[in-house]
Structure 1
Amino acid sequence: MSQIIHAKDLRRGNTIIYKNNLLLVLENSFNKTAMREGIVKCKVKNLRTQAITTEVLTGEKLEQAPVSKVKATFSYSEGVNYIFMDNETFETVEFPVKKLEWEKNFIVDGMEVNVLKYNEEILSVDLPDQVTMEIEFAEEAVQGNSVTTALKKARLSTGYELDVPQFIKTGEKVIINTTNGTYVGRDNK
């Protein structure tokens, strides 16, 4: 039996059914005014199409979707699929690469992820908030550029390109935010 949740009680990470779509709440805001009901805006990700939209859910009563998270480890890519191994049952889970357009920038061999399932339908792969990755190539630092926020282009081993500080060199390991793909810091391990 599904539970009902009021829009004002939604939090990041909640999964809901809205207009026959299965949605994951990425961000939410609640603005209360003196004379009327509060306005609830949520940035949501459709777990079937991967589309990210903003919905105004003021006053809505929504059905919570029982989405389960299964810990899995990335094994390898095979043609149009990424293959993950369920950490408990050791069964393999195939996931189409086309559904992982953003996530594939940060998936490396042996990485542990959460596979999201609704009933038995495999929906998406949930990455850790931050990952440590190796810089495959970094531009040379510009001599004399002493601006504190000076950045240069770099490429990760997956091919993803991002801006990093001038002091980062090819071969270094850095911490990347998987939500927006930005540099967080050096991995000093």
Structure 2
Amino acid sequence: MASSNDIKNGSVLKIDGQLWTITDFQHVKPGKGGAFVRTKMKNVLSGKVVDKTYNAGAKVEFEIVDRRDMQYLYNDGANYIFMDPDTFDQIPVSPEIMGDAKDFLLENEKAQIGSNNGNPIFIELPMSVVLEVTYTEPGLQGDRSSGGTKPATLETGREIQVPLFLNVGTKVKVDTRSGDYISRVND
């Protein structure tokens, strides 16, 4: 057991049998009363975000999470298979843990896998990825400057909104957190 004074961003706590990652914390020492720690934490499995306050010095249970850069190899039909590029160990990651990450990950791309006691518990992608547009309606002449958008399907199967001037075969940068179009990428 550790103290709430040891809480930092990225710490993983075990609360009621569930793992929570600290996304934001603040040590507060008011003029009156005792000091406390205000935290914002995200459930590792569900993604639910909650605020929780601890008295200074309160006992909390930290969990050790091993974060490793892994390379995505393939989907075997049931799981997504990742390989550690240093040891060549392969691990399966379930679709539940993959979540929306599967919509932004191509074979041989890198991602960070967080494991607890040898079991994958979350996946973190880079902030943005470059993907190719495989289907979209043709852009109309004269739509170059308007702020309109149209649906486009990416090579992973994910559908996003893109500017009207983009066509099939265009590479685009996509935000992996929101799934939003960021920019066109010139080769």
The answer on 1:51 being equivalent to 2:46 is: yes
In the alignment, structure 1 residue 77 sits paired with structure 2 residue 72: no
CA drift at 1:178: 0.8
Identity rate of aligned residues, in percent?
A: 23
Q: Give the unaligned 5+ runs of structure 1.
A: none
Change (3 A) 1:83 1:10: same
Partner of 1:59, secondary structure, is strand
Q: Give the equivalent residue in structure 2 for 1:28.
A: 24
Instruction: Please give the per-residue CA displacement for 1:89-131, whole angstroms capped at 9, x wherever unaligned.
Output: 1011111223323111011011011111113222122211111
Contact 2:144 2:164 (C-alpha < 8 Å) held by counterparts:
no
Q: Secondary structure at the match of 1:58?
A: strand
TM-score by length of 1: 0.81
Q: Which amino acid aligns with 1:28?
A: D
Q: Is it true that 1:86 corresponds to 2:84 in the alignment?
A: yes
Q: 1:181 aligns to what?
A: 179
Distance 2:158 2:184 in 1: 17
Match of 2:163 in 1: 165
Distance 1:41 1:173 in 2: 39
| Residue of structure 2 equivalent to 1:122 | 120
| Alpha-carbon distance between aligned partners in 1 of 2:11 and 2:134, rounded to the nearest angstrom | 36
In structure 2, list runs of 5 or more residues that go unmatched.
none
Distance 2:31 2:116 in 1: 39
Show the counterpart of 2:147. 149
Alpha-carbon distance in structure 1 between the residues aligned to 2:41 and 2:53: 13
* Two-structure CA RMSD over aligned residues (Å): 2.8
Please say which structure displays the higher CA radius of gyration.
2
CA shift for structure 1 position 58? 1.4
1:139 aligns with 137
- Whether the 8 Å contact between 2:4 and 2:54 is mirrored in structure 1 is no
- Cα distance in 1 for residues equivalent to 2:27 and 2:151: 39
Cα contact 1:151–1:163 (8 A) shared by 2: yes
Distance of 1:175 and 1:111 partners within structure 2? 15
Distance 1:188 1:43, change over 3 A: farther
For 1:152 and 1:130, the matched residues in 2 are separated by: 20
SS of the aligned residue for 1:186 comes to strand
TM-score by length of 2: 0.81
